[in-house]
Each structure stands twice: as C-alpha cells, then as structure tokens.
Chain A
Amino acid sequence: MTTPQPALIRVENLVKRFPGVVALDDVTLEIHAGEVLALTGENGSGKSTLSKIVGGLYQPDGGRILVDGVERRLANPHAALEHGIVLISQELTLAPTLTVAENVLLGRLPRRGGAIDWPETRRRAAEVLAELGVHIDVERRVDSLSVELQQEVEIARAISTRARLLILDEATSSLSEGATLRLLDIVAGLSARGVAVLMITHRMPEIYASCSRAVVLRDGALAGEAPLPSTAEHELVRMMVGRELLDYYGSRVAAPAEVVLEVDRLHTADGALKPVGFQVRAGEVLGVAGLVGSGKAELAMALGGAIPARGEVRVAGRPLRLGSPRRAIAAGVGYVPDDRRREALLPPRSVAENISLAWLDTITRFGFVRVGAERRDVSQVVTDYGVKTSSLDKRITLLSGGNQQKAILGRTFARGCPVYVLNEPTRGVDVGSKSAIYGYIQRLAEKGAAIVLISSELPELIGLSDRVAVFHHGGIRAVVAGADLTEEVLGSYAVSGTRPDEHPSAVISTGAIEPNDTPTSAVSGAGRTR
C-alpha cells in the first residue's frame, strides 16, 4: 500500500509494558495532516499510554514511530515538540502567576536588545488568541481565569509553536457544555488549517461532532477502526466494551406510588437557585437538566444539605431542616455529589473504609466499629454493585474511575434511603460502568425510592427519567415528559428557555410541578443505545 504522502504520524506495532500488565499490545495507527481522529476506549484500555508515547512522555518497549515517513525517537516532550507534536492533558501546565501573554509565549518571549520586548509579546499573544477566536485580556494573570479559559490559553501556546499534531487527552472532562462547544469549534478551525488533532475521549457526542475517524482500543490492543459519522454509536460502543450493550439504560416496571419528596420554594440566599417547587413519588425518577450555572447543581447540594438553603422540603411527610448533611442523612436523603475526588472519596483510605464511611453509625456500638459487621456489609456492597477490586483493603484511588464511582454509589444506595439525589452519577465513568450504574438506578427506583437525577448528559436523562425538569437562569423553566422527552426539546429549554418550535415570548409557566398522574408508567430505554 503506497500513499502519495506519508502520514504525518504513524505508529507501528507499538508495545508498552508495565510490570504485570501489557498496556499497549501491537498497536498501529496513522494520523494525517488536518485530520481529527478520535482515540477511544474504556478506562484502562491504553489510550492515555498511547498518547503519552506519541507526546514523548513514555518510551515504547517495542515498535516504532514515524513522522512524515521517517522513523523518529521521541525521547521527551521537547523532542516531540520539535516535530510539532503537543500533548494537552487534563492537568494544565501553565504558570499560574504569570500573565496570559507570558504563558502563550513561555520560553520564546521576543527580545529586543537583550530585554524582553513586552509590546511585541502582547501583540503576538493577542494575535494567536484572536486566531483561535478567544477573547481574553492578555495582561490578565492566568490564575484569575476559569479552567476553560486556561485550557484555551494552553491551546494557544501549542498553536504558537506551530504545532502540527495536537493531542487532547480528555480535554473536555473539566469543561462546561459551552466551553466544550467552543473547544470543538477551535478543533474544527485547526483542522481546516491543516493541523491534525488526536482527541482522546469516550464522550460520544464529541466524537460524532468533531471526528472523521475513530480508533478504538480495548485492553491495550486495537479493537477496531471506524469512519465517522457513518458508523453507528452502538457499533462503536460494542468495539469499546467487546460485547453488545443492548439494554444500555436498562428498564424498570414501577408504579409511582405516594409522594415522598415535596419541595416548595427551595432557594439559596445568593440567588443561584431561585425558588423552585416540585414533588417526586416513590418509584419515580425526576431528571434535572440545565447548563452549568443554571441552578441544577445548587438544587442537588441544597437537597443534600451540602450548602445552606431556604424553603420547605418534606421527606415522607416530615419536614427536613436544610443546610446540614447530617440532618439530610437522618431524614433519609441519600446524596451523591458530582465531584468524586473533591467531595466523595477518601483518597488515602481503603475500599472498605471508603464504603463504610456512609453508614458508620449503623455498624458502631458504644463508639466502637463492629469490624465483622463492617467487612460483611462492605463485601455485600462490592458484590451487589460490581466493584472490581482485588482486595477490600486496596487503596481506593488504585481502582478505575468506574469502579470508584460504583463504590461511592453503592455505599450510598446501601443506606436504603427513601429519597436519592444523584448529581452527575456517571461523570468520568467508562461506557461499561455507565450501563451498570443505569441498571442500579433502575433497580433503586423499582424498589420504591424517589430519585432526583441531575445530569448534563441528555441521553442519560431521557433514558432514565419519568419527567425532566429543565433549569434555566436559576429556576425550573419547564418540566418535560412523554413524547416531548427529546434532546432537542431539553436542549432548547436549557439553552434559550423556550421550546424549539416556540416563539421566545410563549413560554410554559414555571409554577410548581405535579407528579406524574398516570397510575403505572413503565419507563424503558430498552434497545436504545446511545
């Protein structure tokens, strides 16, 4: 096979071993100039290892790397940079106390007569940012910028080095929807200018929005390659997981019963959450959609007692005093926060201690933890929720993101609460674990829990919820159910506050929402694979 032009980057038969595991096993792939290639797979499939090898951070144990058809050794990130390869990972590498301009041109500041030419620095930095369509004052200190703007500065820096291949390793995982869209725009612009982009992600919407081809890794080996967008999503998922995920969201047969959660005029003092009211029945899943800053996160935290809030909340008829996680737990609210690392995990502790943390009270007698009961209950959670771990005493951070999340959800679900508030329960979790988590949520509802599911993934909300409340500017803009539950309708309410087909002035009233009155509703996402 001869191509007129050799690929920009070609890796051949790449092998990378770590003690005890083969992280990459005979992987060959090509990236051409101007191409946007998705490198995808579940957590632990080797995608980051591959990107680190191409970025010069790791050395392969076998195989070779060709740049423009010539074999090269990328001994370190600097060597990779000399070939125009720039790796941008989740952890940003900016100098926080320097200005945007200094960061963009770091290490290459223009000089005049031995001194730094500041006007020229600002001009060039502004030029690069303008090229990206990013408008930031180049005089601002980087640590005063939001994460998304910081990332754009980092990309600007990459571009100012005349990068030919930009590797984005899970670059969107810390971004809001708006910033993600802007990043994807930037990627499209780069591609049009002939820059190749390797996007490492398992987020389907992004893959389909940006990439012309996807390479799927599974257990370190090439699981398949697919042209986009002509390959169906379930086909990609099948390659990632290695089996068909027919019943991605699972299904439940539930008869929403009595109202368990009543919320009235719930709001925060700072106005981030304006007074909202709704009710959720036992066995019902109320989805909550909305952009970042729409108030949906505040709703979750207020219900979980994580932040001070005002208004009335009743759980099984009893009023809940707001503003304390301990009181929320005692009242029967199981809250799972969205930021696993910052709000849920005890990073240095074992799987067992992380799990039993959620119900220390119930296994304590006279102040002493009953260790036998603890082991038994923890093992039960690990089994019930499919947490893959070689030992209960293993440090929780050694588990994959999906297994960490299963442990966190499992410990809360095992409390047996009448009400659950789940804030982004599948964030940062791979496809297989997601499907499992959906199943657990369905079982929970089937057993009669009232569930409030806050999510930024619309397909997930549609697949699991009986109704979805869409937040906009701090309040509930609309409650959508039945045939209206589509991404188009939800997205439109979330972004503009109106229905897609509606004139902006004709807006649904935002009064309190009554629960679904249908006596029995079978919600099912069966066969609907994302």
Chain B
Amino acid sequence: MNETLLERIDEKPAPPARRPVWSRIAAATGPATGAIAGIVILTVILAVTQPVFLTWGNITNLVGANSVTLVLALGATFVLLAGGLDLSLVAASAATGMVFGLMLQSGADALPAIAVTLLAGLVFGLLNGVLTSYARIPFLVVTLGTASLFASIALLLNDGKTINVFDFPGFAFVNDFVLGQAFGIPFILMFDIVLIVITAVVLRYTKFGRGIYAVGSNAEAARLNGINVRLTTMLVYVIVGFTAALASLVQVGRLAGAAPTFDATLLLTVIAAVLIGGTAYTGGEGGVGGTVLGVLFLGIIQNGLTLTSVSSFWRGAVNGIVLILAVALGVARQYGWLRFGRKGR
C-alpha cells in the first residue's frame, strides 16, 4: 500500500508532456505528412544515387511530364473537397482534346480553337454538375455514365483516329507555349504555378471556396447556414470540366497530336495524387497544397523508376502501395496513433 502510494507520488507531476519531434512534425505538416516524408526520402535517395536527378534538365522534364496530371488533379481536388468524385475527368479531357484537334484541323486560329475547347469542357462539366446536384443522381453513377459517354464522344469525333496537329497553323502558339521558356524557366512551369495560386486562392479566400469545404464537411449544416449547396456542387463539376479541357490543351501541345484514347491509369494517378496529398475522400479536408505534393511525389517516383531503369510496369504497383500507405497514415492521424491524448469524456 505504502509502496504504491510512493510510486504514485513519484510519477505524479505528469509534465505537460513535451511531445516527441515526429509528433510535432506530423502536427505541423497536417494531413500531407506522408507525401512530404515520401518526397524528402526519395529526393535524398535519388540525389545521392542518381547525379542527374537534381539537374535543371531533369527537373524541367519532371515538371513537363506531370503538368497534365497536375492540372487534372487540381480540378479533382475541388470535387473531392466537396465530398464528390468525378470518374469522367480523363475521358472528358480526351474528348476536349479531340475537339481542339478538330478545330485546329479546320484551320482555326489558336485562340478560337482554345476557346471552343474550354467551352466544351465547361459543357461536359455542366452535364455532370446538373445531373448530380439538381437531378440528385449519385455522383458515382453520373460520372461513371458520363465517363463512358465522353470516351465514346472522343472516338466518334474523328472516327477513332488520332489527329496529327503539328502542321496546322493554329498549333504553333500552343507548341511554343508548352515547350518554350523564358530566362530558363519553362512557360509550362509558370502556367502550373499560376494555376496553383489561383485554385489555392479560390479555395482559401473566396466565399465559394469556403462553401466547398462546408458542403464537403457537412452539407446539411452548410444548407442551414445559407450556403447554396446545389449551386456549389454543380460549379465544382463545372470546374473539373474546365480543368479537363485545360489539361487536354497541354496534352495536345506536348504530343503535337490529339488522341481519342488515353492512358487508362491516368484517372487512378490523378485521384491517388489528390488523396496522397491529404485531401479526405470523405470531403471537407485538404487542399491544393497537398495535391501539388501528391503529384510531385508520384512524379518523382516515376522519374526515379525511369532514371534507375526499372521497368515502367512497376509504376502501377508502386503508385498503389504509396496511395494505400499515405491514406493509412491519414487514418492513423485521425484515430490518433500520432496524436493521442484526448481526455475520455
């Protein structure tokens, strides 16, 4: 009895526990902890083992190769934050790419061709948006259906054939933009940065952005506080459609051609990048910063596999494992493996 008492007294002044370093880092980096850790570790490994990795050439290559993914992922971030998902975004991008190709083929100037392409993206997004928000059809059903529809449209537009756009007069501008640079900085990198800043500002500092977070966190609470939930939801899909069209411009610019089919793993890569960046698939949590990190992480993995001459067949396996680990880390955070210590109520 006396012993236990003494023991207790000795232990008692439980100091306001200095939290361990890893716990504080986890708290400071938020839900993107996994992506940041992955980027740091990979960068160190690759920088040491592959001298070419940190060269400017390789870095610009990395940026160029991942711009399409980034643009699509920025759009997908909006829809995931609002608690939805768009399975049609890559198919929509292929279809708008074909629209762009046909416009160029018809001899249109760059700007009208771009405008029509973006408009097509907006229309595709509007279709998804109206069906999910106003017709109240579940988003998985809607976007699964439109994914199939858009893929078909992409094939129908030019009878399933790729359009080689290199020689068309309107293409020069796009080509110069996608491949050009100023003061050694690629235009595409500037474009990426501008887009990142715009999306980040919209999400963080506009009423619309706050509405997206509110709808994704708790649609009923948002509605009762005067947020127009249906309009917000609809606009989110319109944004995805717009970014799909933007991505298709970049893609056509890089390939000098518009292809009616697309890399089947791209959709998974895009959504994985957003989730790895810490955006919750349940909505309401995360943001553009995380998405950029997620895209960068998957891009570095891909770059690393290429530099080390590992078969690209491994890419899917690595992406999948990384996705699960990153989200598992997020779940662990939420259930308090890293930050436990809430008093029992």
**In the docked arrangement, what's the CA distance between A330 and B225, Å?**
11
B221 pairs with A357, CB closer than 8 A: yes
Closest beta carbon of chain A to B275's beta carbon, Å = 15
Chain B interface, number of residues (Cβ within 8 angstroms): 38
**Chain B 230-270 near chain A by CB (<8 Å), digits 1 or 0:** 00000000000000000000000000000000000000000
Q: Which residues of chain A come closer than 8 Å to B24, judged between CB atoms?
A: none
Chain A interface, number of residues (Cβ within 8 angstroms): 55
Q: Which residues of chain A come closer than 8 Å to B11, judged between CB atoms?
A: 61-62
Tell me whether A196 is interfacial, beta carbon within 8 Å. Answer: no
A331-353 residues at the B interface, CB under 8 angstroms:
335, 337, 342-349, 353
B164-216 residues at the A interface, CB under 8 angstroms:
205-208, 210-211, 213-214
Closest beta carbon of chain B to A333's beta carbon, Å = 11
B207 pairs with A348, CB closer than 8 A: no
Are A343 and B221 also in contact (CB < 8 A) when A21-B341, A367-B208 are? yes
**In the docked arrangement, what's the CA distance between A400 and B7, Å?**
32
A46 pairs with B221, CB closer than 8 A: no
A326 pairs with B226, CB closer than 8 A: yes
Q: Which residues of chain A come closer than 8 Å to B227, judged between CB atoms?
A: 357, 360
A368 pairs with B220, CB closer than 8 A: no
Tell me whether A235 is interfacial, beta carbon within 8 Å. Answer: no
The contact of B206 among A26, A305, A367, by CB within 8 Å, is A367
Q: Which of B14-22, B123-131, B302-310 contacts A (4 or more CB under 8 A)?
A: B14-22
Closest beta carbon of chain A to B4's beta carbon, Å = 6
Q: Which residues of chain A come closer than 8 Å to B345, judged between CB atoms?
A: 43-44, 47-48, 400-401
B210 pairs with A48, CB closer than 8 A: no
- Report the nearest B residue to A19, measured CB to CB: B341
B224 pairs with A325, CB closer than 8 A: yes
B284 pairs with A357, CB closer than 8 A: no
Tell me whether A107 is interfacial, beta carbon within 8 Å. Answer: no
Q: Which residues of chain A come closer than 8 Å to B17, judged between CB atoms?
A: 19-20
Ranked 10 nearest A-B pairs via Cβ: A49-B344, A346-B217, A19-B341, A348-B285, A48-B344, A18-B341, A348-B284, A364-B207, A20-B17, A19-B17
Q: A44-B345, A346-B217 are in contact. List 16 more A-B contacts (CB 8 A).
A: A18-B341, A19-B17, A21-B341, A22-B14, A26-B8, A48-B344, A49-B344, A58-B344, A306-B224, A342-B221, A346-B213, A346-B218, A346-B222, A360-B207, A360-B226, A361-B226
Q: Using a CB–CB distance below 8 Å, which chain B residues touch chain A?
A: 4-5, 7-8, 11-12, 14, 16-17, 19, 205-208, 210-211, 213-214, 217-218, 220-228, 280, 284-285, 340-345
Q: Using a CB–CB distance below 8 Å, which chain A residues touch chain B?
A: 13, 15-23, 26, 43-44, 46-50, 52, 58, 61-63, 220, 304-306, 325-326, 329-330, 335, 337, 342-349, 353, 356-358, 360-361, 364, 367-369, 371, 398, 400-401
